[in-house]
Structure 1
Amino acid sequence: MADQLFAYAPAPESRAAAGEIASHYGHFIDGEFTESTGSESLKTIDPATEEVLAEFAQGTEADVDRAVAAARAAFPGWAGLPGSERAKYLFRIARIVQERSRELAVLESIDNGKPIRETRDVDLPLVAAHFFYYAGWADKLEFAGYGPNPRPVGVAAQVIPWNFPLLMLAWKIAPALATGNTVVLKPAETTPLTALRFAEIVRQAGLPRGVVNIVTGDGRTGAALTAHPDVDKVAFTGSTEVGRAIARTLAGTRTRLSLELGGKAANIVFDDAPIDQAVEGIVDGIFFNQGHVCCAGSRLLVQESIQDELLDALKRRMSTLRVGDPLDKNTDIGAINSAAQLARITELAQAGEAEGAERWAPACELPSSGFWFAPTLFTGVSATHRISREEIFGPVLSVLTFRTPEEAVAKANNTPYGLSAGIWTEKGSRILWMANKLRAGVVWSNTFNKFDPTSPFGGYKESGYGREGGRHGLEAYLDV
């Protein structure tokens, strides 16, 4: 971007660190890589260059049947192991993830488009931490608060999104395995590569055959998996629209369901907040991972008396953000994950202008190839604007103002979502009062987008139900 205080020399991470990417991938079923029963293939591309990285199989109903059958056959043996033995496998997976973290971080950046500093410093440490954490629970389930003899549910069908491919895999697989369940997982169709690389880690760790199975494909494969009659538990992270469809399919069946869906979080800044700290939290809240975060702080609620001061500081900070090559260690904002997502972001940003909001973005030269969107700020936004109501899932921030804490709560809760919120103030009593009034599953105080495997995560209303992470994350996989 223009007017930098410092000039940064390129600091690229080597693409070779990702290891060999095969030209074609099948599924991982019953401990082996296997071809699909169908002939259709899909392609995954590097969103920063539009280069085709690999082809992978479009999973058929027959492929899903095979994977579920393998998980069902493996279930008695895996569930019958002492928790301490299951823990050994999870500890081994966690250590291998740490050992191969550079490889996995580079592969994630190539396939997803997010900056290497995020995959390297946030995603991969959290992936390992989740496996370490749930390994610790595997032999202590009777102390988790779910009864004296909690038992696994059975076969878990898990469908994960493209914004945090490997981290969402860890969020789901780690507690499922710790509690004695077996898994069939479908990664997103735009980001299958790290899930397929994880299948190699499963084999390297010596996990029994059939305990983890990975079937690739688009929404058709996901629909076949989540509706499969021999699945005992479905865990889905993704769009609210697809979550509704899954809930309708499973209504009246015995299959358990947990959903982690969209969000439209409010990041609320009071007049006594430390401005510089709040600005950093606002930037982390909306521009982290290009805004591809379900709990992104996409609505900034700022107390009216400090609006000008805060926005001036925020614009100065946005002007220093670096957009470009995800493998450059200096990059702050990488590529948008797909052409379809870029079109969605562009359409909603244009709607914001058409409805009368004022658009601002720093001077920014975007690469000529790939999918890119400059960090963008809208002021003059009302609660009726689409950019204030709909999940944009991109680096676009809508600014609204408030005068009193009561008005801030009313505006923050004026959304069909309820996943997260942030509060910036020096008054501890105000934080507690606000947290009790906000209808959000996660409320951060004087920070934003901080995650820990010991802490539960989930939402209300159209953001879904159920919790992942922490002791609470065990419940979905236990028959209690």
Structure 2
Amino acid sequence: MQRYQHFIGGEWVEPSSGEWFETTEPFSGHAWAEIAKGNERDANRAVEVAHEAFLSPEWSSLTATQRGALLRKLAGLIEDNVERLGMIEQRDNGKLIAEVAGQVRNVAQWFYYYSGLADKIGGEVVPINKADVFNYTKYEPLGVVVAITPWNSPLALTTWKMAPALAAGNTIVIKPSEYTSASILELAKLADEAGFPKGVVNVVTGFGQEVGEPLVRHPLTAKVAFTGGDIGGQKVNEAAASGLKKVTLELGGKSPNIVFDDADIEQAVKGAIAGIFGASGQTCMAGSRLLLQDNIHDEFVAKLKEIVETAKIGDPSRYETQIGPIATRAQHEKILRMIEMGKDEGANLVCGGKALSGPEFGQGQFVEPTIFTGVRNDMKIAQQEVFGPV
């Protein structure tokens, strides 16, 4: 079984606790790697090392163009490793291999984008009413950025934080989800290979209270970027507030698709299906509500049901699979509870609604693609994020 250590200061570091936890494949249920179980000591060390790197001449004396060149080198290495990174992430979170491969290619493009932006970040001369005074603004990096990322799209959501932070001259400590740490550690390995100075990119693995909270509260943390649920976001905001730290939160949603009777119905049906059943509904921008004009409702729902009931469900490592497993056992159970809640509230179950089991469904961490009609806005199923194919 593969074992992943923390990546701190350009070195692979054993957890100070001496403890490890397993990461499992959602489809098979088999543990395939051990991940370092971090604690406050590991978190503090990572922030302090990142702060030293921020002040070091090896990083602080680089020009913006030189930082851009490092990001460009990293983007090229990601392109060279698309298949390997995609397989690792697919193994960790159960997302379809076709979807993950596309996401990893986009990850490289994000690094290319910010490599070009690095030396385009400029201030301005500010006109004032004193002719003998030269007044200007200048943008400067903040320092240590802590990035806390979820399990549904680890590489993509880490990149959206990491690439701009590094382009602007900050250093970073990444705390990935305990369910999906492996691909982020592999990304750190590529950053090291690209030539980023030691301590600029760090990864500490573990659980929220033991690692995430100390990272947020550390006095040398200047900025926190968090993607996750609203409860986790509240905790991050509260922990950061005592130090007046800058915070960016990307939380959940209950996004509506709205279709009127002058739409191209066939295309709108396809769009609705992609919006909610892609990634088995496990995205914060999933189109989990569908608002239809009355006179197209029945036709639209019938077409939706017809396509959904032919979906290929199963092994996410096969390119023909269209809907894969739920990433975690806890999330699988939550989705099924939410479906029962919808039925109890009086919503009409059109199709789906059950867990799937059998040899083609691995360990059974699957939920049928599910459609409710007759949902009122006061129902919990309409108000709360399901984060599943519902």
1:47 to 26, 38, 43: 26
In 2: Cα distance, 1:344 partner to 1:136 partner: 42
Matched residue, 2:246: 256
Whether the 8 Å CA contact 2:356–2:367 is kept in 1: the answer is no
Q: Pairwise mapping of residues 350-361 of structure 1 onto structure 2 (< 5 A)?
A: 350-361=340-351
In 2: Cα distance, 1:297 partner to 1:340 partner: 22
Q: Aligned partner of 1:58: which letter?
A: K
In 2: Cα distance, 1:144 partner to 1:309 partner: 56
1:390 aligns with 2:384: yes
1:129 aligns with 2:129: no
Matched residue, 1:108: 89
2:293 to 300, 303, 317: 303
Q: Pairwise mapping of residues 280-319 of structure 1 onto structure 2 (< 5 A)?
A: 280-319=270-309
1:172 aligns with 2:172: no
Q: Aligned partner of 2:3: which letter?
A: H
Whether the 8 Å CA contact 2:253–2:385 is kept in 1: the answer is yes
In 2: Cα distance, 1:34 partner to 1:387 partner: 44
Whether the 8 Å CA contact 2:29–2:362 is kept in 1: the answer is no
Q: Pairwise mapping of residues 11-22 of structure 1 onto structure 2 (< 5 A)?
A: none
Question: CA 1:144 to 1:308, structure 2 compared with 1: closer, same or farther past 3 Å?
Answer: farther
Deviation, structure 1 residue 253:
2.2
Secondary structure class of the residue paired with 1:158: strand
Secondary structure class of the residue paired with 1:152: coil
Matched residue, 2:132: none
Q: Deviations over 1:296-319 (max 9, x none)?
A: 110100111100111111111112
Secondary structure class of the residue paired with 1:43: strand
In 2: Cα distance, 1:91 partner to 1:273 partner: 42
TM-score by length of 1: 0.76
In 2: Cα distance, 1:364 partner to 1:306 partner: 30
Whether the 8 Å CA contact 1:47–1:338 is kept in 2: the answer is yes
Matched residue, 2:45: 66
Q: Deviations over 1:114-169 (max 9, x none)?
A: 10110112x11220111010001111110699974211010001100011001011
Deviation, structure 1 residue 269:
0.6
Matched residue, 1:89: 70
1:379 aligns with 2:373: yes
Matched residue, 1:182: 171
Which is richer in helix?
Answer: 2
Q: Pairwise mapping of residues 137-156 of structure 1 onto structure 2 (< 5 A)?
A: 137-142=117-122, 148-156=137-145
Q: Pairwise mapping of residues 322-333 of structure 1 onto structure 2 (< 5 A)?
A: 322-333=312-323
The share of aligned pairs that are identical, in percent, is 41
Matched residue, 1:98: 79
Question: CA 1:27 to 1:59, structure 2 compared with 1: closer, same or farther past 3 Å?
Answer: same
Higher mean alpha-carbon deviation, 256-265 vs 218-227, is at 218-227
In 1: Cα distance, 2:320 partner to 2:351 partner: 20
In 2: Cα distance, 1:250 partner to 1:190 partner: 24
Secondary structure class of the residue paired with 2:349: strand
In 2: Cα distance, 1:250 partner to 1:30 partner: 24
Deviation, structure 1 residue 40:
2.5
In 2: Cα distance, 1:29 partner to 1:324 partner: 38
Secondary structure class of the residue paired with 2:122: helix
Secondary structure class of the residue paired with 2:221: coil
In 2: Cα distance, 1:230 partner to 1:145 partner: 31
In 2: Cα distance, 1:269 partner to 1:301 partner: 6
Q: Aligned partner of 1:142: which letter?
A: G
Question: CA 1:364 to 1:313, structure 2 compared with 1: closer, same or farther past 3 Å?
Answer: farther
Whether the 8 Å CA contact 1:79–1:152 is kept in 2: the answer is no
Whether the 8 Å CA contact 1:156–1:183 is kept in 2: the answer is yes
Whether the 8 Å CA contact 1:157–1:231 is kept in 2: the answer is yes
Q: Aligned partner of 1:338: which letter?
A: T
1:210 to 183, 199, 211: 199
In 2: Cα distance, 1:144 partner to 1:137 partner: 16
Secondary structure class of the residue paired with 1:125: helix
Matched residue, 1:118: 99
In 1: Cα distance, 2:137 partner to 2:311 partner: 52
In 2: Cα distance, 1:129 partner to 1:139 partner: 17
Matched residue, 1:435: none
Which 4+ residue blocks in structure 1 deviate beyond 3 angstroms? Answer: 143-148, 362-366
Question: CA 1:133 to 1:281, structure 2 compared with 1: closer, same or farther past 3 Å?
Answer: same
Whether the 8 Å CA contact 2:148–2:225 is kept in 1: the answer is yes
2:4 to 19, 25, 45: 25
Secondary structure class of the residue paired with 2:18: coil
In 1: Cα distance, 2:284 partner to 2:356 partner: 27
Secondary structure class of the residue paired with 1:135: helix
1:199 aligns with 2:167: no
Q: Aligned partner of 2:121: which letter?
A: L
Question: CA 1:145 to 1:273, structure 2 compared with 1: closer, same or farther past 3 Å?
Answer: farther
In 2: Cα distance, 1:311 partner to 1:360 partner: 9
Question: CA 1:62 to 1:100, structure 2 compared with 1: closer, same or farther past 3 Å?
Answer: same
TM-score by length of 2: 0.93
Whether the 8 Å CA contact 2:338–2:381 is kept in 1: the answer is yes
Deviation, structure 1 residue 175:
0.3
Q: Considering only aligned residues, what root-mean-square deviation do their CA atoms show, in Å?
A: 1.7
Q: Aligned partner of 1:341: which letter?
A: Q
Question: CA 1:368 to 1:65, structure 2 compared with 1: closer, same or farther past 3 Å?
Answer: closer
Higher mean alpha-carbon deviation, 137-146 vs 244-253, is at 137-146
